[in-house]
Amino acid sequence: MSCGHNGVMLIEQIRTDLNTATKARDSDRQRTLRSIIAAVQEAQVSGDQAKQLDDDGVLAVLKAQVKRRIDAAEAFDAGNAGDRAAAERAEQAIIEEYLPAALDDDELTAIVDDVMTSNGFSAQADMGKAMKAVNAEVAGRADGRRVAELVKSRLA
């Protein structure tokens, strides 16, 4: 099992941070951390039998929660509800504190170019194999849409 901050399991770190936010009366952080914990608990009991999530499982839940916040913020922007979009983005920022640092454009481009060259991907038909290989290297440190656009731009 991988460990989060300072050797502590990620979900335990989130629970500790919730206690800190509660003592500090930081209601936005409290609400966001509670929703993360609820989403993790829901993931643990989904499926045929209950399971304990390791850090990788918790990270998958966090990524899904970030995506939900991004989609909700975009929908609120489209519906002229800027205040609600801002609240979603604030929650997104809190959740992202627990995710590995995102790759910048140069790092992502270098990874994509390296994977494409070393595997000989060049045709549009290679898209699926190329995405699988690039995503294995990126390991969740870049948005899937960014990765797909970059891979697609490299294929003839």
Q: CATH number for the domain including 46?
A: 1.10.1510.10
Count structural domains, the chain.
Answer: 2
Nearest to 151 by CA among 127, 132, 135, 129: 127
CATH code, 117: 1.10.10.410
- Give dist(CA 41, CA 44) in Å, integer: 5
In degrees rounded to 5, what are phi and psi of residue 63?
Answer: -60, -40
CA-to-CA distance for 42 and 104, rounded, in angstroms? 32
Express each pLDDT in 39-93 by its tens digit. Answer: 999 999 988 888 888 888 899 899 899 999 999 999 999 999 999 999 999 999 9
133 with 65, same domain: the answer is no
pLDDT, tens digit, for every residue of 50-59? 888 888 889 9
On whether both 60 and 24 belong to a single domain, the answer is yes
